[in-house]
Amino acid sequence: MVTYTIIINEAPYAMERAYTGLRFAKTCVFEGHKTNLFLIENGVYVAKKGQKPSSNQPNLGDYLEDLIKDGVEVKVCVVCVQARGLSESDLIAGAKIVTLNELVEWTTNSDKIMVF
């Protein structure tokens, strides 16, 4: 089993990078790998509650909730959350607000690191 840390720094609906990162995480879980997900910069919006994308787009909030249910640990950059006027109550249950020290620990202990 490989440990993956996936970093998403792109907003959920601006481009497809955030969606691709979530799909990659889902595939890692499906393949039996330990999977961590860190949201940073505009990627913190992936964890925003109450997303209502247009009908032709997948709801990335729902996707993230499914990953959390599958055992993916999700951490969100505290500085990025605060800079965007968000708080813990704005985020999906299971997304934990942390400092970059947590990202350093994850990347130090991961076999593979992917950035989207």
Q: Residues 28-37: pLDDT tens digits?
A: 999 999 999 9
Number of separate domains in the chain: 1
Residue 67 CA to its chain's centroid (Å): 9
**Residue 99 — very low, low, confident or very high, per pLDDT cuts 50/70/90?**
very high
The widest CA-to-CA distance across the chain, in whole angstroms, is 39
- Its domain, for residue 104, covers 3-115
In this predicted model, what pLDDT tens digit does every residue of 73-97 receive, in sequence order? Answer: 999 999 999 999 999 999 999 999 9
Return all residues near 84 (Cβ < 8 A) that are at least 6 apart.
42, 44, 45
For residue 55, pLDDT over 90 is answered with no
Q: What's the pLDDT at 40?
A: 98
Q: What is the domain-level CATH number for residue 23?
A: 3.40.1260.10
Residue 24 has pLDDT above 90, yes or no: yes
